[in-house]
Every structure is written in C-alpha cells, then in structure tokens.
C-alpha cells in the first residue's frame, strides 16, 4: 500500500523556493525517512522538457526577430542620417563638438526606440493575454496580468538597448563627415566608421548579451544562437568579398575601346574600361547592362555589403524559422498521431499478458501489441559509495527517487543512445544498464560506473554501459533505466503495453479488456491526441502570428536597405546619365543588380538557414525536417523576390535623373 500526500506551502509569491526549503527541512528533521519527496517543479520536469522543445522554436523566432529588428534600426538610421549629412557638416563647420552632436542625434534615436518598443510591448502583452484566454478552457492556468509586466519591462529594455547597439555604427559613420564636404558635395563623400563607435557598439552589445543570457530559460541555447549569428555574419562577409573579386575578374576581360577611355576620363578612376568594355566568360559576350551591374557591385561605395549582410542574415533566419515551425507542426499533426498507439495499458500482471493480447486481437486480428516489464527501483550506491550516507543532501534525495526500470526488449520509446553502446541482443553476461541522460547527468555518472539499485529491499548490481536520450514529443514511458535481459526477472510482476490498431476498433478492444481484466488501466490515445491537436492548433496560430511578425520585420529591414542605398544609386545613375547613358539602360542595370542580389542572398539563405534549422531540430528538438526543405526554399525565393522587386520599383519611381543635380550638389 502506498500513501501519497500533497503539501501546500504558505508563500504564494515564491512557491518553488518555498517548496524546496520545506522539503530540505523535512529531510533534515527526519534523516531516516524513506519517502520520496518531490516539488511540483520536479514532478513537471518531463512536461517541461517537452514544452522546452516547443519553446526552442519560439526562442529561435524571438531571437531572430530581435536581430532582424536591429538590422532594421541600423539601415533606417543610416538612411535618415544620409539625408542629414549636409546639416551635420554645417553644424561641425559652425564649431559644434562631436560629443554634443552625437548626443543630440542619439537622443532622437532613443526617443523613437522607446516609443516603438513601448508600442511593441503593449501589443505583445495584449497577444499574450489573448492567447491565455484562448487556452484557459483546456489548460488549468490562471491569467494574471500583473505577472506579465516584468517581462514587458524586460522587452522594453531589450528594444531600446538593441536600437542603440545597432545605431552606433551608422551614427559614427555619419558624424565622420567633414565640413570640406560642403564644397566637394556630400553625395560622393566617402565616410568611415570610427574606432570609438565600434567600441561603443561592442559595449552595448555586451550588455545586451549579458541580459539575454540572464533572462532566457536555456543559456546554452542563447549562446548557441549568438555564435550562429557571428558565424553567419562572417560567412556573409566572406561571400561579399568573394563576389566583389568575381565581379572584378569578370571585368578584367573587358576590351578597352575608345568609349571606355572616354568614360574612364570622365569617371576619373579608370572604371570606364570595366563599365563599357566587353566582358567575356567562356567566349560568350555578357550583356552591357550586366557588365554595368557587375562593375557597380565591386566598387568601394557599392551597396552590396550592407545589402548582403542585412538581407542575407534576415533571410537565413527567416528560412530557419520557417523550417522549425513547419517541422514542429508536422510532428504534432502527423508524425506523433501516426506513430502513437491506439491504446496504452498499465498495471498488467504477468499472468494477464495472454488475456491482454487475446482481447486486442479479438477486435483486430492484425493489431500489434507490445508489452514491457515495469519495475520500480532506487539507485542507492555508485562505485561502492552509498548515496544515503552521503553528506550531500542532493545525493540523499537522489537515493530516495523511484525510477522506472525495464528491459531492452521493452524499449517501446525507441530511445537514442548518445554515449556508450547497446549490448548484443543475445548478451548473457553480468548485468548491464543504460541510463537516461538527464538522470545520469544529475548524478555525475560515466560509462563503466558500478551502480546498485534497491528493488523491493533487494540489491541489484549493474554496470553502466550506455547513456540514452528520449525522443521528446514521441516518448511515452520515459524510462529512467533499461537493464539487460534476465537481470530483472526476479522482480517482474507487472507490465505496461501499447496496442496499434485502427481508432474505431480501439473502443471495442478497451471494452473487452475491461470485462476480462478490470484491474488493467487502459487509455485511448485518440482522446488525448484530439485535445493535443486542438491545443497545438491554437499554438500553431500563435506560431504563425509570431512568424508573420518576423516576416514583416524582415520586409521592413529590406525596405530600409533599399532606402539606405537609394541616394548613392541615384547619384551614380545621374553621373552615368550625364556621360550619355540612356535611362532605359540604367533601369535594366538596376534590375540586373537586384536580380544578382536576389539570387545570391536566396541561395545563401536556403543553404545556411536549412543547416541552422536542421542542427536545432535534430540535436535539440529530436525532429527531422526531411521533406520540408521546400518550405525554406519557397520562403527565401518569395521574400527576396517581393522585397527586392518592390525595392527596385520604388527606386525606379524615385529616379528622376537631372545632370544639373551634380552642379547643385557640388559634384
């Protein structure tokens, strides 16, 4: 006979800490107590692990939106300050110091960041309350708006700090304009980002990272995301340099004609040979407009680098988010229902195994029935050291935890071995055991350790041969240990099982089993899956909303990229128009340039985003995105085509070429 008690602690503000303190006090007051004492948080670890898988997808989307929003801030600030270069140069000419000028501009940025972040916080809080109301009927949860405000304040702080972090480089670059630009013309002025701006960027970025690591539930996941973004930016930087080198090599084969000489004299930098020459690749002549696009891509002031960094990183994260969301929804809606048994059985006595099979097969002769022995035991010693006699209270509590033991033949969950290896199926040597990774890590176990389990007061000595991990959403029994065949035979008195048959036949099988063996508990998984699908449908709606926000942020970032490069592109087109180039030809050049950017960024995003999502899905969420890569390809192609296509049309509408502009600007 087992007795179970539930104790509610007094302090509702910190229930987890209070419950743990009460448990420790009980253990200290009764050191010989043999009962297993668990807090609610510890009993919910399995559910938390499953929810953590879903949370990983949400974290990826949230981090991606945060980073993409920062890129939007950088490009927007750069586009805004690009139009204020004359004013900044004038203020510097009048004697305004850089610090005051920077403080003046930064104050404007902070004000806008606070307003934008506040709007985002209010919308996010409203969405959270709406989502809580939507699932409150299926999940026992209390809606407490007061608990959302700390998270809202943290979100506001994240928004402002992210905006300031990404604004520093653009601000420092704009403040590098000199008063001499008022005489030469600010449009063609070469700007640089000073070292101080990069130091400030690094400082605020470090604050954001520390805050990020302190606030996320899984710091390792946050660190992995940061490393992935750094690697992503490094790859994009290398891709940018490679494309510039490739464009330059394509232009080296140009034939320098008289038109090229004239253009070179007009441009003053020898670029005319590359612009007007005949580039050959494999003996075939490239279109003139493509030559001009290639020539523009490897110029020092080309918008290629900011466009590739912003568009490439945003698209890559968007592809990764798409794959994670589609894989998660497929797992919940298709994979789990397809692999789940129709019936799950508990408390099956050994002599009732045949009765169980007969009852199921009477409903469906083709039904598959799998059973596994279930033995409860406690790990009481490791390498000869008794855990109950340890001075560490945590190890004493571990020795009182009951663990579910079974055999390899009963591996219904098909666990994955990560360290060590399974023993052969015909193994007949000394007892071996495979432990779950969470249990092994909590007890600092290693392959080869000698373990002793206490089962019904009798010891069982085994050697640790393997450490395995669960399949998360697809796990059913969550066994803590699997013992080699034969070792548990003296202790086996009950079993668990699963039956695979059509859902419409499961109810009849359940009724037959209840009549033949009333003590066997049976559960129809269709009922649970139906509720799960209803919950996950709403969760999927939430994921779609979050992913849609991320997509909208990406489109805004791409729009800011176009805006940031518009002034320079219009200036370059005006120079070419003054040298005799036709407007129709310049438009085709623009289309070629944007088409090249779309192809390069979409291709990179598909490869890098798929790799990032695959790593997260397989190593963190235990899912396989195979068969869903098309969704990432479609997202990359669609978003790049829409954003860059609309950007090109917008730029063409703004392109009012007038050579007199060069005289007015001093160019």
Residues 102-127 have pLDDT tens digits of: 888 899 989 999 998 999 889 888 87
CA angle at residue 554 from 543 to 166, to 5 degrees? 115
- β-strands 368-373, 343-349 pairing: unpaired
List all residues 6 or more positions away from 398 whose beta carbon is below 8 Å from its beta carbon: 379, 387, 442, 443
Q: What is the pLDDT of residue 95?
A: 83
Per-residue tokens: 172: 């420092």
User: Per-residue pLDDT averaged across 55-69, rounded?
Assistant: 76
User: Per-residue pLDDT averaged across 80-90, rounded?
Assistant: 83
- If one compares 228 and 276, the residue with the highest pLDDT of the two is 228
Q: What is the pLDDT of residue 188?
A: 60
**pLDDT 10s digits, 273-330:** 444 444 444 445 667 777 777 776 666 666 666 777 878 888 888 898 889 888 877 8
The residue assigned the tokens 């409203």 is 126
Q: What is the pLDDT of residue 564?
A: 61
Q: What is the pLDDT of residue 484?
A: 93
Q: Provide the mean pLDDT of the chain.
A: 79
**pLDDT 10s digits, 598-636:** 888 899 999 999 999 998 888 877 788 888 999 999 989
Q: What is the pLDDT of residue 574?
A: 73
Q: At what angle do helices 304-330 and 629-654 cross, to 10 degrees?
A: 150
Q: What is the Cα–Cα distance from 237 to 541, expressed in whole angstroms?
A: 36
- If one compares 323 and 269, the residue with the highest pLDDT of the two is 323
Residue 623: count of CB within 10 angstroms of its CB: 25
Q: What is the Cα–Cα distance from 305 to 241, expressed in whole angstroms?
A: 8
Report phi then psi at 368, rounded to 5. Answer: -105, 125
- If one compares 9 and 438, the residue with the highest pLDDT of the two is 438
Confidence of residue 157 (pLDDT cuts 50, 70, 90): very high
CA-closest candidate to residue 229, choices 254, 209, 251, 199: 209
Confidence of residue 532 (pLDDT cuts 50, 70, 90): low
Q: What is the pLDDT of residue 658?
A: 63
Give residue 499's region: left, alpha or beta (phi > 0; psi -120 to 50).
Answer: beta
The residue assigned the tokens 């960094």 is 309
Q: Specify the range with the lowest mean pLDDT, choosing from 479-488, 497-506, 613-622.
A: 613-622
Q: At what angle do helices 219-252 and 583-619 cross, to 10 degrees?
A: 150
CA-closest candidate to residue 39, choices 63, 21, 55: 21
- If one compares 48 and 490, the residue with the highest pLDDT of the two is 490
Q: What is the pLDDT of residue 661?
A: 58
Q: What is the pLDDT of residue 265?
A: 41
List all residues 6 or more positions away from 136 whose beta carbon is below 8 Å from its beta carbon: 143
- If one compares 588 and 291, the residue with the highest pLDDT of the two is 588
Quote the longest CA-to-CA distance of the chain: 102
Q: What is the pLDDT of residue 561?
A: 64
Q: At what angle do helices 304-330 and 525-578 cross, to 10 degrees?
A: 170
Name 555's bridge partners: none
Whole-angstrom Cα Rg for the chain: 33
- Residues 529, 365 contacting (CB under 8 angstroms): no
Q: Which helix (H) or strand (E) holds 385?
A: strand 385-386
Q: What is the pLDDT of residue 207?
A: 92
- If one compares 190 and 326, the residue with the highest pLDDT of the two is 326
């Amino acid at each position: 006979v087992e007795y179970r008690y539930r104790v509610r602690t007094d302090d509702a503000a910190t229930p987890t800490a209070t419950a743990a303190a009460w448990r420790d006090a009980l253990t200290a007051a009764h050191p010989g107590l043999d009962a297993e004492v668990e807090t609610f948080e510890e009993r919910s670890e399995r559910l938390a692990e499953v929810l953590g898988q879903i949370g990983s997808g949400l974290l990826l989307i949230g981090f991606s939106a945060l980073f993409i929003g920062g890129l939007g801030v950088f490009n927007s600030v750069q586009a805004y300050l690009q139009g204020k270069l004359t004013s900044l140069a004038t203020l510097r000419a009048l004697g305004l110091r850089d610090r005051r000028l920077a403080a003046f501009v930064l104050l404007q940025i902070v004000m806008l960041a606070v307003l934008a972040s506040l709007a985002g916080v209010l919308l996010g809080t409203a969405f959270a309350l709406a989502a809580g109301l939507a699932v409150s009927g299926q999940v026992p949860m209390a809606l407490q708006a007061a608990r959302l405000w700390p998270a809202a304040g943290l979100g506001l702080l994240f928004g402002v700090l992210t905006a300031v972090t990404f604004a520093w480089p653009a601000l420092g670059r704009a403040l590098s304009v000199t008063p001499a630009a008022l005489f030469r013309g600010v449009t063609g002025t070469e700007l640089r980002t000073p070292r101080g701006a990069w130091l400030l960027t690094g400082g605020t970025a470090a604050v954001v990272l520390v805050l990020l690591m302190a606030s996320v539930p899984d710091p390792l996941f946050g660190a992995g995301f940061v490393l992935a973004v750094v690697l992503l930016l490094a790859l994009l930087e290398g891709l940018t340099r490679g494309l510039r080198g490739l464009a330059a090599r394509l232009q080296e084969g140009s034939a320098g004609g008289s038109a090229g000489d004239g253009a070179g004299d007009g441009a003053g930098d020898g670029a005319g040979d590359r612009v007007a020459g005949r580039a050959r690749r494999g003996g075939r002549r490239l279109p003139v407009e493509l030559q001009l696009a290639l020539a523009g891509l490897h110029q020092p002031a080309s918008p290629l680098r900011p466009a590739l960094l912003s568009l490439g990183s945003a698209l890559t994260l968007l592809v990764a988010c798409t794959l994670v969301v589609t894989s998660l929804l497929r797992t919940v809606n298709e994979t789990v229902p397809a692999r789940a048994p129709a019936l799950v059985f508990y408390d099956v006595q050994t002599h009732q195994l045949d009765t169980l099979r007969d009852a199921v097969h009477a409903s469906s002769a083709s039904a598959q029935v799998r059973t596994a022995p279930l033995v409860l035991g406690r790990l009481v010693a490791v390498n000869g050291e008794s855990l109950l006699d340890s001075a560490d209270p945590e190890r004493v509590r571990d020795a009182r935890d009951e663990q579910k033991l079974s055999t390899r033949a009963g591996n219904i969950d098909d666990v994955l071995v990560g360290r060590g290896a399974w023993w052969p199926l015909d193994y007949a040597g000394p007892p071996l055991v495979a432990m779950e990774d969470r249990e092994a890590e909590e007890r600092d176990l290693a392959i080869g350790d000698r373990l002793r389990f206490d089962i019904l007061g009798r010891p069982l000595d085994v050697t640790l041969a393997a450490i395995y991990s669960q399949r998360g959403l697809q796990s059913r029994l969550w066994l803590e240990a699997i013992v080699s065949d034969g070792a548990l035979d003296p202790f086996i008195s009950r079993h668990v099982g699963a039956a695979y048959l059509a859902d419409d036949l499961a109810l009849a099988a359940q009724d037959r089993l209840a009549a033949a063996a009333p003590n066997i508990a049976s559960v129809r998984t269709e009922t649970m899956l139906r509720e799960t699908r209803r919950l996950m449908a709403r969760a999927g709606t939430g994921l779609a909303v979050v992913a849609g926000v991320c997509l909208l942020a990406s489109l805004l970032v791409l729009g800011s990229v176009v805006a940031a490069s518009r002034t320079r592109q219009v200036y370059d087109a005006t120079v070419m128009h003054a040298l005799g180039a036709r407007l129709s030809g310049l438009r085709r050049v623009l289309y070629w340039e944007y088409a090249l950017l779309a192809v390069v960024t979409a291709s990179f995003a598909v490869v890098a985003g798929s790799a990032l999502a695959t790593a997260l899905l397989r190593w963190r969420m235990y899912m396989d995105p195979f068969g869903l890569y098309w969704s990432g390809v479609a997202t990359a192609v669609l978003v790049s085509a829409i954003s860059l296509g609309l950007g090109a049309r917008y730029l063409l509408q703004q392109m009012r070429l007038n050579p007199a502009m060069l005289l007015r600007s001093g160019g």
